[in-house]
Amino acid sequence: MEELINRAAEALSRSQHTVALTGAGISIESGIPPFRGKGGLWEKIDPMTFAHIDAFKRDPALVWEVLVKEMKGMIDTARPNDAHISLARLEEMGILSAVITQNVDGLHQAAGSRDVIEFHGNFAWLRCMSCDGRCETREADVAQLPPRCSCGGIYRPDCVFFGEMIPPGALTRSQLAASQCDVMLVVGTSALVQPAAFMPIIAKEGGATVIEINPEPTPLTSSVSDFLIAGSAGPVLSSVLETIGANGSGGASGSTR
């Protein structure tokens, strides 16, 4: 493990454009369980009934009831963990240029990351379906469902429902970032779902070192990743950052704040 941490720290110290691809695994330590898999939300409720845009348009109050019960409290109170914070720190050091995430919890931004590309939008914000006005989810009045904007329009979560497209801008920007990076950190995701699945492949084809941080090997491990650091995202990324600090490297630009 220690040797792999050193290898990651070395690659990052040399890197001019690192991109991180993150998924549900990075937020588990913040108390947010993954949607998919055992104990996940999609095991409890049918996403086609409660997370599809048609269902929302048909009966926004019903979908909101489920969202408030299953998600809102969790996301309102969740705080970034060491993994989110380490990625924000890498950006500050001039090593990391962007985070591509499949998560909707807004924790990368909460940790201080500035360039976050969100494939599935964000549940930390709501958007008015009439005037496009935005409101923080934790500020929303959910005494009456669905929550409404001051213009009278219905608020929807600013995330991508089933049946909706990935925002085209997010897709284009992530492809560009993946093709230009020299190191890609794949953190807390097996990247099985498109379009995330493409990103490590694009990075690899562009000559980048792909470093995977996951508790268990994934299909990426043998086919795409240069190496896997098997462990939880928080402790692993903290150790990597510590090692970079100890080696006295401030990233490619040589300037740290």
7 vs 148, beta carbon nearer Zn ion: 148
155 vs 161, beta carbon nearer Zn ion: 155
1 vs 151, beta carbon nearer Zn ion: 151
* 126 touches Zn ion by CB under 5 A: no
Whether residue 147 is preceded by a cis peptide bond, meaning omega within 30 degrees of 0, is: no
3-state secondary structure of 70: helix
Number of residues that bind Zn ion (CB under 5 A): 7
Q: Which stretch binds Zn ion (CB under 5 A): 21-29, 33-41, 124-132, 162-170?
A: 124-132
* 151 touches Zn ion by CB under 5 A: yes
Residue 158: Cβ within 10 Å count: 18
Tokens at 22, concatenated: 């993150």
What does each C-alpha distance from 117 to 6, 8, 43, 129, 196 come to in angstroms?
28, 23, 27, 22, 11
Q: Is 120 a catalytic residue?
A: yes
Question: 205, 220, 177: which is closest to 23 by C-alpha?
Answer: 220
Residue 127 pairs in a beta bridge with 134, 156
User: CB–CB of 201/224 below 8 Å?
Assistant: yes
Q: Which stretch binds Zn ion (CB under 5 A): 152-160, 167-175, 194-202, 223-231?
A: 152-160
Q: Give the CA dihedral 137, 39, 1, 182, nearest 10 degrees.
A: -50
Sole residue written with tokens 């240069």: 226
Angle (CA) 219 90 190, round 5°: 15
| Least CB distance to Zn ion at residue 168 (A) | 24
56 vs 119, beta carbon nearer Zn ion: 56
Interacting residue with Zn ion among 21, 32, 83, 128 (CB under 5 A)? 128
* 184 touches Zn ion by CB under 5 A: no
* 5 touches Zn ion by CB under 5 A: no
Q: Which stretch binds Zn ion (CB under 5 A): 61-69, 102-110, 129-137, 182-190?
A: 129-137
147 vs 200, beta carbon nearer Zn ion: 147
User: CB–CB of 61/139 below 8 Å?
Assistant: no
* 130 touches Zn ion by CB under 5 A: yes
Question: 47, 21, 10, 43: which is closest to 191 by C-alpha?
Answer: 21
Interacting residue with Zn ion among 1, 61, 131, 192 (CB under 5 A)? 131
| Least CB distance to Zn ion at residue 20 (A) | 34
Q: Which stretch binds Zn ion (CB under 5 A): 70-78, 83-91, 145-153, 200-208?
A: 145-153
Q: Which helix (H) or strand (E) holds 124?
A: strand 121-128
* 133 touches Zn ion by CB under 5 A: yes
Q: Could you list the active site residues? A: 120
Residues binding Zn ion (CB under 5 A): 128, 130-131, 133, 149, 151, 153
